[in-house]
Amino acid sequence: MPSATVPYRLECPCTVDDGAGLAKSNVSAFWTESWWNLMWPTRTRESLIESVTARMPKNLLTERDLRRHQKVIDSESGEIVGYARWILPASHKGDWLEAQTPDVSDELKKRFSANHLKANWNYREDMDALDEHIPKWKKKHQRGQFIVLDYLGVRPDHHRQGVGSMLVQSGIETATSLGLDIYLVAMGRNALGMYLKAGFEILDENTQDLGPYGVNEPYYTYYLVKRTASV
């Protein structure tokens, strides 16, 4: 009998040609989260996807030496449904190169920079105050050399299908092989259970009221670490 098709596949790296697919997946991943969509009270999801599409190629090329990018593909549709961005310490910039976005010509870089600059990225700057505690957390807890899970997003129609876990476990395997811990900031509670199940520990947490910004909901933030350096 023919083998069943694997529903999802993890791929890396992400290339500049993935801009539109990543934009659709990433905006959709957080669009239903009040702490996120409140930053763009007059925008539609589609208009924001358009802006993120224009910005994505430059973002993928930013700090190429340290940033690593992964995507999860829905095998049936071929669409990107999950994405993770990791940041290596400078001492390990020669590692995990299979997840490094391929470089492009200077001409393309100029074009991508221009598109990035022209894209509408006006957001509510008053909400920046909600994250003012995060730099203090980092200063308090970060030790030695480590990897940062800087971004993780999964399309809501693919939640609880193991997509996020695929990305997280891949990073854990790499961190373990390099002898590095992983730090991350979790915004909201949706992915907290997944992180804890993967062995992350909560170092700090904070709850704030979104009422002053227009929604009677709490905004949760967590600072977590996965200890792999001593494993």
Contact, 46 vs 110, CB < 8 A? no
Give the single-character DSSP code of 158: G
Q: Does domain 8-226 have CATH number 3.40.50.1700?
A: no
Q: Is the pLDDT of residue 231 over 60?
A: no
Tell me the residue type at 29: A
pLDDT tens sequence across 58-115: 999 999 999 999 999 999 999 999 999 999 999 999 999 999 999 999 999 999 999 9
Domain boundaries, the chain: 8-226
pLDDT grade for 3, boundaries at 50, 70 and 90:
very low
pLDDT class of 229 with cuts at 50, 70, 90: low
Backbone angles phi, psi at 223, to 5 degrees: -115, 125
**Number of residues that make up the chain:** 231
- Alpha-carbon gap, residue 216 to 116, rounded angstroms: 34
Q: Can you tell me the distance from the alpha carbon of 57 to that of 51, in angstroms, rounded to the nearest whole number? A: 12
Other Cβ atoms within 10 Å of 64 Cβ, number: 16
Task: Compute the distance between CA of residue 92 and CA of residue 228 in angstroms, rounded to an integer.
Answer: 16
